[in-house]
Amino acid sequence: MDSYWFIVLYMALAPLVILLALVLLYLTMKSKAKQPVKISVIILLSAVIFQAVPYYYTISAQQNSSYAIEKLEYAAKFTLIPYHKGLLYSDIGSRCFLEKDGKNALKYFEKAQRYGNFYNDNFAPLHFLYLANNQEDKALDIALKVGSTYQAGVSYILKNDYPNALLMLDKYIKTYGESINACKTRAIIYKNLNENELAQKDYKKAIELAKANNCKERIADIDRDFKNYKTSISDYYKKLSAQYGF
């Protein structure tokens, strides 16, 4: 039997088998007969094992890149354990994301959010898609929930909330140290706050880090983004919006 239909069959029958076992156990316990109770317990344990098999297949499906999205979605629908649903929907979202199908990637990532602790595993692509789809509030919300100060700072920039953006970038640099992106982004924030001396300081630091890390090809990008600070970040996400089908 094709593994796809095997998953569907097991997922559909497993709850019925467990329900039947519970009913049988209840009836035999009322009869106070020891032997039927033992039989019912055996049936119940068998039903639990029976239910565990499809969960193994759903994990296999998640790890197997050759599974079509439609098959993974079917497995997710029939899986009873919420954690497994989250894994499968998250995997579908990741595959759509890699194919630059932003609308479906966002749909499946949001489905995955409903089941278990999803944010930490797939925060980055979901945050990215929210910004590409002009959903800055949602992007900011998940950035704050996972404690990603850099991404929260970017979200605040797109909301034109530069004081909070600066607060987030300061926290990020204090925690992780100076980096090319962090210094460049903070320079843009300072520029918007008319703190030109501090903006120049971070801009020069970003250039210095690019040279020190043999990233000379990035110097032109840093220079362009800093000079066009009003539009550089928003224009970037506008281009992404078109690329991902929003």
Give the chain's domains with CATH numbers. 148-246 (1.25.40)
- Do the Cβ atoms of 28 and 36 come closer than 8 Å? yes
User: Please, are residues 43 and 22 in contact by the beta-carbon 8 Å criterion?
Assistant: no
Angstrom distance (rounded) from CA 163 to CA 126: 24
Contacts of 62 (CB under 8 A, 6+ apart): 72, 87, 88, 91
Among 32, 28, 52, which residue's Cα sits nearest to residue 40? 28
Give the pLDDT confidence score for residue 240 in this predicted structure: 80
Amino acid present at 214: N
Radius of gyration of the chain (CA): 26
Write down the pLDDT at residue 82: 78
What integer pLDDT is reported at residue 164 of this predicted model? 97
Query: What pLDDT sits at residue 40?
Result: 64
Q: In the prediction, which pLDDT does 224 show?
A: 83
Token digits of residue 245? 């089908």
Q: Checking phi first, is residue 194 left (phi over 0); if not, alpha (psi -120 to 50) or beta?
A: left
> Would you say 61 and 71 are in contact if contact means Cβ atoms under 8 Å apart?
yes
- Does residue 153 contact residue 195 with C-beta atoms inside 8 Å? no
d(CA 5, CA 178) in angstroms, rounded, equals 52
Strand, helix or coil for residue 100: coil
Q: Would you tell me how many other CB atoms lie within 10 Å of the CB of residue 36?
A: 15
Please report, in tens digits, the pLDDT of each residue of the chain (246 residues total).
444 555 555 556 666 666 776 777 676 666 665 566 666 666 666 666 665 655 665 666 656 666 677 777 877 777 767 777 888 888 889 889 999 999 999 999 999 888 865 666 788 899 999 999 989 999 999 999 999 999 999 999 989 999 999 999 999 999 999 999 999 999 999 999 999 999 999 999 999 999 998 888 888 888 888 887 655 667 777 788 888 888
CA distance 7 to 11: 6
Q: How much is the pLDDT for 227?
A: 80
Query: How many angstroms separate the CA atoms of 222 and 57, rounded?
Result: 48
129, containing H or E segment:
helix 119-132
